[in-house]
Amino acid sequence: MKHNYSIEMDIGNVKGDEPLVSFIGVVVSIDPSTYMMIIDDGTGAISVSSDMLYDVEKILRVIGIPYKEGGQIIVDSDIIQDFSDFKIDLFRKVQDIEKEVYQ
Give, for all 103 residues of the chain, the pLDDT tens digit.
Answer: 565 788 889 999 999 999 999 999 999 999 999 999 999 998 999 999 999 999 999 999 999 999 999 889 999 999 999 998 888 888 888 888 988 898 7
Give, as one character, the DSSP assignment of residue 71. T
- For residue 79, which amino acid is it? I
Q: What is the DSSP string of 12-25?
A: GG--S--SSEEEEE
State how far the Cα of 103 lies from the Cα of 98, in Å rounded to an integer. Answer: 8
Report the predicted TM-score, pTM, of the whole model to 2 decimal places: 0.85
- How high is the pLDDT of residue 4? 72
- How high is the pLDDT of residue 99? 83
- How high is the pLDDT of residue 103? 77
Asked whether 39 and 28 are in contact (CB, 8 A), the reply is yes
State how far the Cα of 80 lies from the Cα of 67, in Å rounded to an integer. Answer: 17
Question: Residue 49 is inside which H or E element, if any?
Answer: strand 45-49
Give, as one character, the DSSP assignment of residue 13. G
Q: Which CATH homologous superfamily contains domain 7-102?
A: Nucleic acid-binding proteins (2.40.50.140)
Domain boundaries, the chain: 7-102
